Structures are given as C-alpha cells and as structure tokens.
Structure 1
Amino acid sequence: MLPIERQNQILKILENKNLSKLDELHNQIPNVSISTLRRDIKTLEDEGKIEYLFGGAVRLSDGSGEVEFTKKEHKYQKEKKQIAALAAQEIHDSNAIYVDSGTTCTLLLDKIKNKRITIYTTNTQVCHIVGNFKAEIVLIGGNYNGVTSSLTGALTNDLLSRLRFDKAFFGMNGVDINNGYTTPQFDEAIKKQLIAKRTSQSFILADSSKFGVSSNVQALELKDAILISNDNDSQIAKETKIICP
C-alpha cells in the first residue's frame, strides 16, 4: 500500500471516529508496522490534517489543512536556513521579486532586506522586519489568514495581476513526483499559479521532509519551477532542476 493510500485510510477512519489511538488505527490497518503508521501520522500532522494529542491519540484537525506558522517556524531550522541562503544567491540588485508566505520564505525575506531590490509579498511576517534596510518592500493586501500569515483572495489576485516579476519564490507543503507542488488551500494555489505566469523565473523553497508528500491542491507542476532544497532527489531531478548544497 502506498503512503498516500495509508494516509487517506487514516483520514477515513478518523472521519467516522473523530478520536482514535495508535493501536486502534493499527487494528484497522493491520498490514503495516506501528513505525510506518507513526510516520504517516507525522506526515498528516505536518500537513495540518490531523492533531497528535497527549496520550497517543489522534484526531482530525479543524479542516484548514494548514499548521500554524508559529508551530512550524522552529522545525528543520538548519535546513531552512541553508535553503534561504541558496535562494538569496539567485537575487541580484535591481530585481523585482515576489516572496511567498511560509517559514523558509520568511527567512529569505530577512536575508535579502539589504539588497537594492523591490520585494512584493503577501507574507505578513514581513511586518516584523524593522530598522533601516535597503530593499523596497511592498505588502500586497487581501484577506488575512492568521494561521499561515498570508494574504489571499480577489483583491490580492487583482493587485498581483497588474505586476510582473523577475523572480518568484514560493513555499509549498508537498513536493511529489506524481502530484507536483501542492498546498492544502485552493486560494493559495490560485495565487501561486497567477504569480508563476507573471514571473520570468519561479523557485520553490522546500526542505527534504516535503519530498514524497502530497497535499490536496496542486499549485504547480514540477517542471514549472526550480526546486531549492537542502537535499537532492533523483526522481524529482528528472523533472526539474534542483539547487542544493
């Protein structure tokens, strides 16, 4: 059974019984090991689809499919800093760029604030950048999502449709050979697709924990953007260029 099939089975079980313990899940999916189920649960938790509770029980999340920014920002810090540093090397003076929401993109914003560039973003974490900096920063308005620190919606898309970018840097929830670059939310996917059509070059910032992970909405195909990551993947590399240390 493929990981995504097991994970979908876990979600179906939790739809019928909102709270379940690991051994109960194992009784209903008996042909896999406990350690494999734990990995599937971790993947679903990282995608924001389920919550792992004290005592070993799991339940469905509130349905947003996203994990709060503050819960993700301390995970894989070393890898995310590597990725942000590599992405910063792709940005040059006078560039007009778009930087997406997400923890790695937020690290990138801090790294490039003193480049002589124009940064357009829908990432509200940019408001925490204070003091003197050389970049011109434009925060695009829209509907505010407090979970992801992101702005989306009709106003956002209208404003973005009037702009063009030299380069765009996106965050994603999953990078999969079959399903491409994915995100849990439809409005985020639409926004990313719009921006990708209005930029000369697109980059995805994703650490290797997202390899083989699929969320429920495809934003882009692998061939549509260069992947910047902390590690290589031979299968993904057949479909797109990967920049890694």
Structure 2
Amino acid sequence: MIPYERHELILNKLKEADLLKIDELAAFMPDVSMSTLRRDLKELEKRGSIEYLTGGAVKLHSAAREVSVFEKGAQRSSEKDLIARRAAAEVEDGETVYVDSGTTATALLSLLVDKPVTIYTTNGYACRFTGDLAAKVVVIGGDFNPVTCSLTGPMVENALRELYFDRAFIGVNAVDEDRGIMTPGYPEAIKKRIVMRNSQASYVLADSSKFHVFSNVKVCDLEGFTVISDKRDAKIGERVKMITA
C-alpha cells in the first residue's frame, strides 16, 4: 500500500471515530508496521491534517472537520447574537437578501423573518419557522448536510446563478488578512462565491475567534465585502471594511 492510500485510510477512519488511539489504528491496518504508521501520522501532523493528543491518541485537525451546528451554537452565543442584531439593522424593508448557513446566520434569520423582506437561504433551519411570518422565505434545495444544516451542490449552485440580491450575509469558519475567508468544504466555498458575485452588498458574519485561524478551502480574498464582528481587528481592518457589533 502506497503512502497516499494509507493516509486516506487513516483520515477516513478518523472521520468516523473522531478520536483514536494509535494502537486502534494499528489494529485497523494490520498489514502496516507500527514504525510505518507512526511515520504516516507524523507526516499528516506536519501537513496540519491531524493533531496528537496526550495519552497516545490522534484526531482530525479542527480545520479538516466541520463542527456540528449544535456544538457551534453553544460557543460564543452572546457574540453571535450581537453580530446578528447588527447585521439585521443593515436590511431595509422590501429588500431581497440571502442568508447563509451557520449559527450566526441562523440567529440573523430568526430576526429577519419578522421584517417585510424576501429571504433566500440554503440554511435548513429555515424550515423550522412556522406561523405568521412578515418575510417571504425561499429555501433553495440541494444536498443536505445534517451536521451543519446546510444545503449545497449542483442544484443549489444552478439556482443561485440565476438570482440577484440586495444584500448577502455569509457565514465562514476563518478570516485571515493573508489567506482571505475560508470554509472547510469545497461545495460551501463555491456556493458562497456565487452569492457574493450576485449581491450588491455582501457581509461576512464572523466573531473574533475566527480571526487569524485557517480552514481547508479559500472562498475569496479580503476585498469587496464588509465583515461584521464583535471586535475590530487592526490587520483585517486594513484590508476590508469592518463593522463592530
């Protein structure tokens, strides 16, 4: 088995189990010697794909794994609510807006449904709103990710290419002055690029914990949009407009 094949086996196994002891990986790959397995793990660690933990265990690096929307919702919830309220203040009655997936975007969505606007979204949480809504809500269907409650894929992309928005609110996993804005998956990155091209104004919703970290896939450089966050960052603020909630 060549190194690439071994690396793929290791990463796929970690995606299933999240965290494994090295002995467990060795049992999963009985034809691979322990010395070879350790070399492979060191190489994957060097690439930033996995992390070593105390006690002889390994797990996927956080940038290679999309955290569930339930986990994210419990993290920095007050900051996300502040950002959502500030973002909602940008929207005027009668506008057509796009709201992305993600916990901060979901908080924004819950505010905008009470405004007389048209909302297009790929956020599966939109289906949970019932009763009388002031907004018209259009959920664009596609491949559903149960971890993030996000819809992506060719059907989503084809629909979004035909739509234009007054404002778009984009969720991301990382913001960096050199790397731009990032997300863990390529389908999410494609979707965000299309939306931002088709919007008169684009806003990236990112609390300050997402500054100067990285994720797997670059969406775009820091230009042509506004970052709404709980704190201002000097380096990022030099490259792109920022609004502090």
The TM-score by the shorter chain falls in which range? 0.7 to 0.9
User: 1:19 offset after TM fit, Å?
Assistant: 3.6
Q: CA offsets per residue over residues 12-55 of structure 1, 9 Å max, x none?
A: xx97x9647xxxxxxxxxxxxxxxxxxxxxxx9xxxx7689897
Mapping of 1:1-245 within 5 angstroms? 19=21, 57-60=57-60, 65-245=65-245
Partner of 2:200, secondary structure, is coil
How far apart in 1 are the matches of 2:63 and 2:226? 30
Partner of 1:131, secondary structure, is coil
How far apart in 2 are the matches of 1:59 and 1:173? 19
User: 1:132 offset after TM fit, Å?
Assistant: 1.2
Instruction: Flag the 1:52–1:169 CA change in 2: closer, same or farther, 3 A.
Output: farther
Q: RMSD in angstroms over aligned alpha carbons?
A: 2.9
Partner of 2:162, secondary structure, is coil
Of all paired residues, the percent bearing the same amino acid is 43
Instruction: Flag the 1:165–1:79 CA change in 2: closer, same or farther, 3 A.
Output: same
- Structure 1 runs, 4 residues or longer, greater than 3 Å off: 17-20, 49-58, 61-64
Q: CA offsets per residue over residues 47-104 of structure 1, 9 Å max, x none?
A: xx76898979541279962011111111101100000000000001011000000000
Instruction: Flag the 1:18–1:121 CA change in 2: closer, same or farther, 3 A.
Output: same
Instruction: Flag the 1:217–1:78 CA change in 2: closer, same or farther, 3 A.
Output: same
Instruction: Flag the 1:236–1:186 CA change in 2: closer, same or farther, 3 A.
Output: same
User: 1:195 offset after TM fit, Å?
Assistant: 0.7
Which amino acid in structure 1 is aligned with residue 239 of structure 2? E
Q: CA offsets per residue over residues 201-244 of structure 1, 9 Å max, x none?
A: 10000000000011111112111310000000000000011100
Bigger radius of gyration, 1 or 2? 2
Which amino acid in structure 1 is aligned with residue 119 of structure 2? I
TM (norm. structure 1) is: 0.77
Instruction: Flag the 1:63–1:231 CA change in 2: closer, same or farther, 3 A.
Output: closer
User: 1:128 offset after TM fit, Å?
Assistant: 1.5
How far apart in 1 are the matches of 2:128 and 2:201? 27
1:40 aligns with: none
User: 1:127 offset after TM fit, Å?
Assistant: 1.2
Q: CA offsets per residue over residues 110-131 of structure 1, 9 Å max, x none?
A: 0111111000000001112122
How far apart in 1 are the matches of 2:121 and 2:185? 18
How far apart in 2 are the matches of 1:63 and 1:234? 24
Instruction: Flag the 1:53–1:129 CA change in 2: closer, same or farther, 3 A.
Output: farther
Unpaired segments ≥5 residues, structure 2: 1-6, 12-18, 23-47
How far apart in 2 are the matches of 1:207 and 1:132? 31
Instruction: Flag the 1:202–1:58 CA change in 2: closer, same or farther, 3 A.
Output: same
Instruction: Flag the 1:154–1:56 CA change in 2: closer, same or farther, 3 A.
Output: same
